[in-house]
Homo-oligomer: A and B are copies of this chain.
Amino acid sequence: MTKIKVGIAGATGYTALEVARLLMAHPEAEVVAATSRAEDGNTLAEVHPSLAGRCDVPIENLDAKTIAGKCDVVMCCLPHGASAETVHALVQHDVRVIDFSADFRLSSLEVYEKWYGVKHPWPERVGKTVYGMPEFFADEIATADVVANPGCYPTSAILPLSPLVKSGLIETTDIIVDSKSGVSGAGRSAKVATLYCETNESIAAYAVGSHRHGPEINDLVSRIAGAPVQTLFTPHLTPMDRGILSTIYVRKNGHSVDEMMQCLRDQYAGSPFVNVVDHLPATKHVAGTNYVQMTVRDCGDRAVLVCVIDNLAKGASGAAIQNMNVMFGKPETMGLA
């Protein structure tokens, strides 16, 4: 058996480390290349001491042709804008790409450029790239050259909302998504705001009504459900490394919570990572895994959906491995269960 050869572009961050960590346990894939301008010349293990003794892949400056020549697929963990440029170059050298940035997630170029405040480097590709959520798009992912890996918050909202909107069990307006994320979602660059003593023992709302994952949630739920939805999205920074819990307030549409639970169970019966549960899930229940737990509670006119994921796993690198498995014809759960 030949293993899938994986490259990691932008190897210094937490999602890159999580990709490497997960691939250590994958029986049919391996990291063969890694890039970072800042760490050129070091190995992955030197940048991430948790890989010591396990991963001496050298980090090089990114050259699309060189990387494409070594890899079957590149996990592109670069910031938005920079990522699209790199994805473009990689695709031209015939390597498949899983893009962790938001550059190809949205349907609309206009919405992208408004919310991200940049000119898109590869505008003609926007709206034509599959969204990397195998629960809904496995067939397209299987043959894609580029997969837009989903955002972390959107994953925790799209999965519970989409089937309920599609089936007409809930109203499409006045949906409130109150999300709580661990600090790893803020990345690994040196900033006062994410120092230990700033975020520890504290919870805070941020970007109220103005976070970029808001339009991503609206876009994808609308696309999957075939009906335009509008959500009010509020993220919170929570004192923990990993995990997202989204508490979602929806208006019932004459249907019971039991029907909602059944709708979700039916939708995800064939999805190995999505568990519709009776208990109220906590982020710890899925920490370090690619699993999703969700439930529904009745509150009069409204129902409350609670969904938890690990933001670095199902919210980023785990989903990327899941996508890679689908792209290369492996069982979806390989190396993840």
Contact residues of A with B, CB < 8 Å? Answer: 14, 24-25, 27, 49-50, 52-54, 174, 176, 178, 180, 182-184, 188-192, 194-206, 208-209, 232, 234, 236-243, 245, 247, 249, 275, 277, 279-289, 291, 293, 297-302, 304, 306, 337
Contacting residue for A281 out of B174, B189, B204, B337, CB 8 A: B204
Q: Which residue of B lies closest to A268 (CB)?
A: B53
Cβ contacts under 8 Å, A288 to chain B: 288
Please name all residues of chain B whose beta carbon is closer than 8 Å to the beta carbon of A232 when the two chains form the complex.
Answer: 249, 299-300, 302, 304
Q: Is A285 within 8 A of B52, CB to CB?
A: yes
Kindly provide the distance from the CB of A178 to the nearest chain B CB, expressed in whole angstroms: 4
Q: Is the CB of B200 within 8 A of A241?
A: yes
Cα of A277 to Cα of B25 in the assembled complex, Å: 22
CB atoms of A205 and B306 under 8 A apart:
yes
* Residue numbers in B under 8 Å from A14 (CB-CB): 197
Q: What are 9 A-to-B residue pairs whose CB atoms are below 8 Å?
A: A49-B285, A174-B174, A180-B203, A196-B200, A197-B241, A201-B201, A203-B283, A205-B247, A208-B299
Interchain CB contact under 8 A, A282 and B204: yes
A65 → chain B, closest Cβ, in Å? 31
Inside 8 A of A182's CB, which chain B residues have their CB? 201
Give the contacting residue for A337; candidates B25, B208, B247, B302; CB below 8 A.
Answer: B25
Minimal Cβ-Cβ distance residue in B for A192? B190
- Whether the Cβ atoms of B337 and A24 lie closer than 8 Å is yes
Q: Once the chains bind, are A236 and B241 in contact (CB under 8 Å)?
A: no
| Closest 7 A/B residue pairs (Cβ) | A202-B284, A204-B282, A53-B275, A209-B299, A208-B297, A190-B190, A183-B196
Which residue of the partner chain, among B24, B176, B180, contacts A176 with CB atoms under 8 Å?
B176
Q: Would you call A277 and B53 a contact (CB within 8 A)?
A: yes
- Are B277 and A204 in contact, with the CB atoms below 8 A? no
Which listed residue (B176, B189, B206, B304) contacts A209, Cβ 8 A?
Answer: B304
Additional A-B contact list (7), CB under 8 Å, known A50-B287, A52-B281, A196-B200: A188-B195, A197-B241, A201-B241, A202-B240, A205-B304, A232-B302, A234-B247
B189, B208, B306: the one within 8 Å of A280 (CB): B208
Residue from B24, B190, B279 within 8 A of A49 (CB atoms): B279
Task: State the CA gap A297–B233 with chains docked (Å).
Answer: 12
Are A283 and B238 in contact, CB atoms less than 8 angstroms apart? Answer: no
Complex Cα spacing A49 to B277, Å: 9
CB-contact partner of A202 in B195, B282, B301, under 8 A = B282
Expressed in whole angstroms, the Cα–Cα distance for A180 and B191 within the complex equals 25
Contact yes or no, B202 A283, CB < 8 A: yes
**A199 cross-chain contacts in B, Cβ below 8 A:** 196
What B residues does A54 contact at CB under 8 A? 275, 291, 337
Contact B241 A204, beta carbon cutoff 8 Å: no
Q: Are A204 and B245 CB-contacts (below 8 A) given A49-B281, A234-B304?
A: yes
| Contact of A238 (CB < 8 Å), options: B197, B238, B285, B289 | B238
**What are the residues of chain B within 8 A of A300 when measuring CB–CB?**
209, 232
**Residues of chain B with a CB closer than 8 A to A196's CB:** 183, 194-196, 198-200, 239, 241
